[in-house]
């Protein structure tokens, strides 16, 4: 990652636990198959353990898809974990459903494709693509209902560090906006680090 941060995706952590067949993974899968959010106590421990790994402690982190509820945000706060910035991508429900339902996974490489926006390079890859069990329209809409109920509570926790970005724009434009925000944070942290070193001399 160009900002030197460790990318931590809560969904990937869940899928790794499911693939490994752990107790947490089995419990998480039951909820995901029903289109429900995985209970906080399962996700919080996975995220906490990952954030406390040496690479995340040393380089900093970009936490993707988490927290999704007030309970999860409070759990992070209680652990003394608070982001420097909270980016919210505003995307219409119609676009969200289309993006998720069209998403496909290459089981050999782990690469994610989209049937419309990022199709596979050839027929061989296309033939082996699979859809995640929780990427159906029905399950996406259920997840979105829960998301809408929770999002305002989460935002209230981070209102002093929140940045909203229009996620319906072209991918390049969305990335450019995110890049501006992350570059600004990196610059401020770098300056603060230099200032503290200068003060220590």
Q: Domain holding 134: CATH number?
A: 3.40.50.300
pLDDT at 196: 66
> Which range of residues forms the domain containing residue 130?
6-200
Number of domains into which the chain is organized: 1
Low-confidence ranges of the chain (pLDDT < 70): 1, 193, 196-201
Q: Residue 47 and residue 151: Cα distance in Å, rounded?
A: 19
Residue 89 inside a domain? The answer is yes
Give the global pTM: 0.74
Q: What is the pLDDT of residue 200?
A: 60
Nearest-angstrom CA–CA distance, 161 and 76:
15
Distance CA 20, CA 23 (A): 9
Is 1 within a domain? no
């Amino acid at each position: 990652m160009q900002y030197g941060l460790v990318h931590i995706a809560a969904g990937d952590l869940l899928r790794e636990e499911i693939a490994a067949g752990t107790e947490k993974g089995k419990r998480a899968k039951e909820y995901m198959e029903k289109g429900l959010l995985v209970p906080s106590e399962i996700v919080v421990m996975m995220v906490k353990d990952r954030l406390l790994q040496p690479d995340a402690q040393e380089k900093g982190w970009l936490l993707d898809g988490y927290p999704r509820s007030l309970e999860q945000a409070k759990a992070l706060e209680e652990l003394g974990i608070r982001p420097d910035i909270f980016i919210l991508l505003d995307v219409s429900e119609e676009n969200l459903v289309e993006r998720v339902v069209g998403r496909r996974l290459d089981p050999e490489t782990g690469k994610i494709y989209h049937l419309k926006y990022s199709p596979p390079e050839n027929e061989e890859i296309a033939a082996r693509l699979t859809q995640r069990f929780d990427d159906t329209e029905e399950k996406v809409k259920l997840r979105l209902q829960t998301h809408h109920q929770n999002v305002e509570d989460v935002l209230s926790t981070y209102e002093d560090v929140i940045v909203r970005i229009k996620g319906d724009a072209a991918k390049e434009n969305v990335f450019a906006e995110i890049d501006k925000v992350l570059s600004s944070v990196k610059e401020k942290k770098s300056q603060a680090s230099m200032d503290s070193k200068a003060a220590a001399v």
